[in-house]
Amino acid sequence: MDSSPSLSSIRLSRSELAVFVSGVVSMGLEILAGRMIAPEFGSSIYTWGSLIGVFLAALSLGYHRGGKRAATHASTSRLVGLFLLSALYVAGLILFGDLLLQATAGLPLPSRFASIPGTVLLFGPPTYLLGYVSPYAAELSGQSDVGAASGHVYAVGTVGSIVGAFATTFLLIPTMSTSQIGLLFGLLSVGTAVALAVPNVDRDQVFWSLGITLVLLVAGATGGVGLDIGGDVVYDTQTAYQELRVVDSGGTRTLYLDGQPHSAMDKSDPTRHVFEYTSYFHAPYLFTDEGRDIDRVLFVGGGGFTGPRVFLDTYPNVTVDVVELDPEVVRVAKEYFAVEESERLTIHTMGGRQYLQQTDETYDLIVLDAYKKDKVPFQLTTVEFMQLADERLDDDGILFANVISAPSGPASQFYRAEYKTMQQVFPQVYSFPTAGGVVVQNIEVVATKQDTLVTREELQARNRQRDVGIDLSAQLTSYRNDEPTDDVPVLRDDRAPVDSLLDPMVGQRYVVVQSNESATGGRTNATSATNIVGEGLETHSAVPASESRSV
């Protein structure tokens, strides 16, 4: 006797189909919401906690209201209407999501709660509507045992949620844009509405199904409206880790990750320092003893490989290893930023801490360039990580960290905590804010194994005496070596409150100083003072301008 299940035994009933799809769409939208909100509000624990809370609240309210109305209102036609309304709202998300998020970002709320209004406005209504589906489906199941009907319905819905979570995370986000994923969920909702309605589809249902499908297709084709990064978008994708965008503006190509600039390249002169902070990558050469070369460099974080290019183009004897977690970042760097692996450049696609734990290599310099303004991998900030980096450095090796924070004031908490953490491992720690003032900016932190303090005056003297490929006299004026750290914690693996330390920076303008260099031979000088403002980022030309080695 054939014991295998028949096709009819595993076919979903209409109510089961409705519940299953509602689980897929609601959980898929929740995962997608994290990617849509991240460019505006970051992806800290506060953002994700708020997002999960809003979705649970909207679903609970939908369950409650649907349960009270199910006995008198539950019908197949109402389920059809719920899915069509949800699809229409998803079309609105695609078209106006960015604009609405940017509008709510200006509300006067504590930064850790800043993402809640936008999340409620964008994702509360469709999630609330989908919450009606389960109690309506339980009522329509025809079972007299209320407990059995409810348990079965919520089990099917949970399976749908599992499918939605895994499919969105592992399949959709790595291969599709947010607007395309939204379009897919919208079309899935319309398709479910049609499947529920057949064969008794009335004229209104046909009209609304076709109309909403058309709106969804238009929304998916346009990709939405709203303020955007200035320039021509050359490439745009959702990776497994972040939103990635390559933008050309004038003669400059910039890599944006989750809406923030991470690397920039002058297309006509790829070796030029576009962002001022990259000139500080030469500073470690002033902290070494006379005659001591830096030959082996490790970068934790690749981006557009601006930093590695600085060493490869300036110092012929240097070899560089780069550890980059996101394989799509590596691919984009090769295709759009002219990065080529060679005997002097080796790329490892893995986590930075994982690499340091596995490698037997030692380095003269480790550059930590994996921090974002509002998304910092805590495992790269702790005492234990600093000890691991110290073990992978030569006896007189140097750790260089590109930190995004404010040098003082409330928004400086992360920088000062990281400074204090480095002091637990390295005898001397120095820092160089790159933009001046108390704004959020790149702060270059240099940690050495040398017990003897190197003063600002000694660094200036070495800058005059040594040829490190660039004149750093202007950059060295921001020298700091004695930061107040009594009110910030030492970061440890078992307690690294990075999200709360980053919290004061939410909504703050991130200022990147843009150098204006010419390659006319030798050490060059130029001055300019133009500002470009957009998406919470302000880019200044350097004043005084940085000076660059001619290549």
Name the residue type at position 392.
R
Cα–Cα distance measured from residue 222 to residue 311, given in angstroms and rounded to the nearest whole number:
41
**CB atoms near residue 373 (< 10 Å):** 23
- What CA dihedral angle connects 456, 458, 462 and 463, to 10 degrees? 20
**CB atoms near residue 102 (< 10 Å):** 16
Helix (H, G, I), strand (E, B) or coil at 357: helix
- Catalytically active residues are 369
Cα–Cα distance measured from residue 90 to residue 97, given in angstroms and rounded to the nearest whole number:
9
Do 70 and 52 meet the contact criterion of CB atoms below 8 Å apart? no
Q: Which residues lie below 8 Å from residue 422, measured CB to CB, with a gap of 6+?
A: 386, 399, 401, 429, 445, 447
- Positive or negative CA dihedral for 343, 348, 277, 226? positive
Name the residue type at position 85.
L
Do 65 and 132 meet the contact criterion of CB atoms below 8 Å apart? yes
What stretches of 267-326 show up as alpha helix (H) in DSSP? 284-287, 306-314
Helix (H, G, I), strand (E, B) or coil at 388: helix
Name the residue type at position 550.
S
Cα–Cα distance measured from residue 477 to residue 549, given in angstroms and rounded to the nearest whole number:
19
Match 């930075």 to its residue by tokens: 352
**CB atoms near residue 471 (< 10 Å):** 21
Return the bridge partners of 399, or none: 366, 447
Cα separations (Å) of 153 from 28, 139, 395?
A: 19, 10, 64
Cα–Cα distance measured from residue 92 to residue 101, given in angstroms and rounded to the nearest whole number:
13
Match 């309210």 to its residue by tokens: 61
Exposed, middle or buried: residue 253 (CB in 10 Å: 0-12, 13-18, 19+)? buried
Cα–Cα distance measured from residue 421 to residue 490, given in angstroms and rounded to the nearest whole number:
5
Q: What is the DSSP string of 93-156?
A: HHHHHHHHHHHHTTS---GGGTHHHHHHHHHHHHHHHHHTHHHHHHHHT--S-HHHHHHHHHHH
- Positive or negative CA dihedral for 154, 180, 245, 231? negative
